[in-house]
């Protein structure tokens, strides 16, 4: 089914790229049309598309689980999110609305820091390099990492290269260009927003604390059990 869908996408892209006078269109400067001009085989193109579209699937599931685990234990944070999104008076948010909710964004950043779906970022130095430990005045002391910080902290810090939950660098498309990450960030903002809009509270029903299970992505070893009681229940 997946390969059939990708074949249809490829056929449409090839047909569109072959139309006269479309070489300079903005549409044909997008990712897939650009690949068509690189001389890659159809099989290579199919796996390129798979790599892009499936990259955010498991990470999104892991991240959403961690969001609900955290919010079920921080009702004060849920109340702050509810107050922020209350300006919409229950209507569904637009993409612009989601981008404007700063507190919700800070909460997601903090959850992402505490429970990163991609917990191991491997780097190999191409030349001899010295990496300080990072703590203390001279950068040689151990550095303490707290388990949790108030989400508001993200108003004052800009960690840049110290915080790379989905990699970074010249060969990384990043959340502004990678299609799966664009979908990822839109979804993880929209889902908490809508559920908090419609349910009065989030109940923590976890019998065990969050414990990481390392795999291709990091997930909760015991799963995440939360409940959303209906109003008046």
**10, pLDDT greater than 90:** no
For the chain, give every domain's residue range: 2-54, 57-119+142-227
Dihedral-angle region of residue 112 (phi above 0 means left; psi in -120 to 50 means alpha; beta otherwise): alpha
Q: What is the mean pLDDT of residues 63-74?
A: 92
Tens digit of pLDDT for each residue in 76-125?
Answer: 999 999 999 999 988 989 888 888 999 998 998 888 888 888 766 655 54
> Which residue, 65, 61, 72, 33, is CA-closest to 49?
33
Record: fold of 57-119+142-227 = Cytochrome p450 (1.10.630)
| Average model confidence (pLDDT) across the chain | 76
CA-based angle 78:79:84, to the nearest 5?
Answer: 100
Tens digit of pLDDT for each residue in 157-208?
Answer: 776 656 656 555 554 545 554 555 666 667 888 888 888 988 988 999 999 9
pLDDT of residue 161: 55
């Amino acid at each position: 089914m997946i390969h059939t869908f990708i074949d249809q996408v490829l056929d449409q892209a090839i047909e569109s790229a072959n139309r006269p006078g479309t070489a300079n269109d903005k549409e044909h400067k997008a990712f897939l049309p650009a690949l068509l001009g690189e001389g890659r085989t159809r099989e290579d193109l199919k796996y390129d598309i798979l790599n892009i579209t499936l990259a955010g699937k498991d990470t999104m599931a892991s991240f959403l689980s961690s969001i609900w685990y955290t919010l079920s234990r921080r009702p004060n944070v849920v109340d702050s999110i509810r107050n922020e999104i209350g300006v919409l008076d229950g209507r569904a948010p637009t993409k612009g609305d989601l981008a404007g909710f700063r507190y919700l964004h800070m909460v997601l950043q903090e959850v992402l820091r505490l429970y990163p779906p991609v917990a191991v970022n491997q780097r190999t130095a191409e030349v001899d390099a010295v990496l300080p430990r990072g703590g203390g005045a001279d950068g040689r002391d151990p550095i303490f990492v707290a388990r949790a910080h108030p989400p508001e902290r993200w108003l004052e810090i800009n960690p840049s290269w110290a915080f790379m939950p989905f990699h970074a660098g010249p060969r990384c498309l990043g959340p502004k260009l990678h299609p799966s990450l664009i979908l990822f960030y839109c979804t993880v903002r929209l889902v908490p927003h809508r559920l908090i809009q419609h349910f009065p509270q989030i109940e923590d029903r976890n019998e065990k604390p969050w414990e990481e299970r390392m795999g291709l992505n990091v997930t909760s070893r015991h799963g995440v059990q939360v409940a959303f009681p209906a109003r008046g229940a």
